[in-house]
Amino acid sequence: MSSSSNASRFTRGATIRAMLLVLVGSLGMQFSAVIAVGLFPAFGVLGTSAVRMLIAAVILLLIFRPRLRGRTRREWLGIVLYGVAMAAMNAFLYLAFSRLPLGVATTIDFLGPCLVALLASRRAREGALAMVALLGVALIAGFGGALDPLGLLFAALAGAAFGLYTLLAAHVGQSEGGLPSVALSVTIAAILTLPFSAPVIPLIRVEHLVPLIASALLGTALAFTVDTIAGRLTSARVLGVFFAFDPVVGTILGAIFLDQVLTPIALLGVCLVVAAGAGIVWLAGGHGPAAEPAPDLPDDTAYAGGMAPAAGIEALEIERKYEVAVDTAVPTPGQFAGAGFTADAPVTYRLVATYFDTPSEALAAAGIAVRVREGGSDAGWHIKRREPGGVRELQWPLGAEMPAALREDLRATIGDAVAEVAPRATLETERTVVVLRDSAGAPVVELADDRVRAADLADGVRRAWREWEAELLPGGAETHLDALEPVLRAAGAVPSASPAKIARATGKLTALARARGAAPAQLAALAELDASDQAAARRLDA
């Protein structure tokens, strides 16, 4: 949606932020393990792990207060599976910690996310980086001496759960649920491990409270939260490489605090892992235009052609759309402050976009939106698809001709009909953007005030409308959109009935809704909306 570079996601800047978040989570996880090892004699291995999870669940529920109603079955499935992965990963990893050096256990544990990174690699260089990281963690394990077979089994099982956790961190992070969903997942994990935590609770003494709470905060609440935020900023593939920080940090902390010797071979492994992480960050921004792309237009249409060719830069937008009257005033800085935001000075852009389809509307039928746009920081060719967590966008640099990689991607879906793809509609947008920051000063939401004039190139009908789009920026959470919505509604905004600009520009809203089995009242509202858009265009053209 946005025209500011802050809205970009899978770019080098976002990848660096994801890397730093994973590093913070890794430090928290491994420091927590150092603390927890001292609690094993009092509570046992599984008891210690389970009580930490229970404490973390209580903390996260109090902080995020997640809603239970209004979630889809798919969203609940992701939440439950994420919780199962958390529970299994922690339990098996702590069983491994009780039998293996910290660095060895985390090295074997890392095989799960490393396998995710390797299998998800789309280019030889990415696969090579995953292999470099894998070699590095293998060298880190070179402590020498016999290793406990049962400990190795526990570490391998933890690695399997860690692989699932890696996939779900990206899935939940990029979903609409955001951090409140993490709180629910940790609660699921706490419920699953309740048989181990319940017998331990009567054994807790005052002197145990500080290490238990510290371990829960660092290794569970903090680690799971920052991992999920990192999942919003990058893909499971990249997260899989960054989770190599775990064996690096585990090796170093084990040597410092637990007298587990750091050998020269292990030190070489640390260097290889760091090099792999640096490489994946560089490659994340090494293909595409220098300006960071930002999502913008259609937004419920879907790209069904599979993974994009390497030339496309990938991003995910999570936004809410609102209808507003032409004379509606954007909320003032004071009104934003009442919801906990500070507002940057507004910036205005002029955007011109052309949307494409075949005469038989093969792209629309396949759920694909293709656009070329000039203006703003994300000028270029775009293809979009809606996912449960938002709209996935791929971008190519601006050029006079459709990029060959994009055309071949379309061919995989609509076949030879790709030769008939031609301009279908044009949109001219005056966009005024306000970036909203949280109490810490971090940009979390971008509010765009769009005044759109559209022309259907097939029948010449013109339409015009005004809408607001509130999009999460990297690091933002759904709670920020929840906090902003009452401010926008008080100003006169109402949730938009239009799922996509291209459908609105071509008068297809009612037909699409009818095909999906919409109720008569909704069909009538969409028909009224289209009539209003045409009337607005006639007034502007008069």
pLDDT-wise least confident of 130-134, 334-338, 462-466: 130-134
Mark whether 348 and 269 lie in a shared domain: no
Continuous H helices in 177-322 = 178-192, 194-197, 206-216, 223-233, 236-242, 245-257, 264-284
| More confident position, 279 or 522 | 522
pLDDT at 31: 81
> Is residue 117 in a domain?
yes
Are 49 and 190 a contacting pair, CB within 8 Å? no
Domain extent for 529: 313-541
Q: How confident is the model at residue 308 (pLDDT cuts 50, 70, 90)?
A: very low
Mark whether 270 and 361 lie in a shared domain: no
As given in the structure block, the two tokens for residue 197 are 């935590």
**Cα-based distances in Å from 73 to 66, 70, 195:** 16, 10, 27
pLDDT at 64: 82
Mark whether 277 and 354 lie in a shared domain: no
> Is residue 307 in a domain?
no
> Is residue 294 in a domain?
no
Q: What are the pLDDT digits (tens) for 351-380?
A: 999 999 988 888 877 778 899 998 877 788
Mark whether 348 and 248 lie in a shared domain: no
CA–CA separation, 288 and 312 (whole Å): 7
CA–CA separation, 357 and 541 (whole Å): 26
pLDDT at 311: 43
Looking at residues 38-58, what average pLDDT do you find? 89
Mark whether 178 and 83 lie in a shared domain: yes
pLDDT at 531: 92
Mark whether 240 and 324 lie in a shared domain: no
Mark whether 67 and 158 lie in a shared domain: yes
From the list 356, 371, 220, the residue with the least C-alpha distance to 295 is 371
> Is residue 2 in a domain?
no
Cα angle, residue 422 at apex, residues 421 and 425 outer, rounded to 5°: 125
Q: Which of 247, 269, 284 is the C-terminal boundary of a domain? A: 284
Mark whether 340 and 204 lie in a shared domain: no
Q: What are the pLDDT digits (tens) for 180-221?
A: 888 899 999 999 999 999 998 999 988 888 988 988 888 777
Prediction pTM value: 0.49
Q: How confident is the model at residue 260 (pLDDT cuts 50, 70, 90)?
A: low
pLDDT at 237: 61
Q: What is the CATH number of the domain that holds 325?
A: 2.40.320.10
Mark whether 267 and 324 lie in a shared domain: no
Q: How confident is the model at residue 306 (pLDDT cuts 50, 70, 90)?
A: very low
Q: How confident is the model at residue 144 (pLDDT cuts 50, 70, 90)?
A: very low
Mark whether 338 and 268 lie in a shared domain: no
pLDDT at 450: 93
- Coil/strand/helix, residue 30: helix
Q: What is the percent of the chain with per-residue pLDDT over 70, rounded to a whole number?
A: 77
Q: Which of 232, 267, 284 is the C-terminal boundary of a domain? A: 284
> Is residue 344 in a domain?
yes
Q: Which of 52-66, 248-262, 278-292, 507-521 has the highest mean pLDDT?
A: 52-66
pLDDT at 174: 53
Structural domain tally of the chain?
2
Q: What are the pLDDT digits (tens) for 390-431?
A: 667 788 888 888 888 888 888 888 888 889 999 999 999 999
> Is residue 27 in a domain?
yes
- Whether 178 shows a pLDDT value over 80: the answer reads no
Are 364 and 425 a contacting pair, CB within 8 Å? no
> Is residue 413 in a domain?
yes
Mark whether 199 and 76 lie in a shared domain: yes
| More confident position, 11 or 465 | 465
Mark whether 375 and 232 lie in a shared domain: no
- Whether 310 shows a pLDDT value over 50: the answer reads no
Q: Which of 264, 284, 304 is the C-terminal boundary of a domain? A: 284
Q: How confident is the model at residue 446 (pLDDT cuts 50, 70, 90)?
A: very high
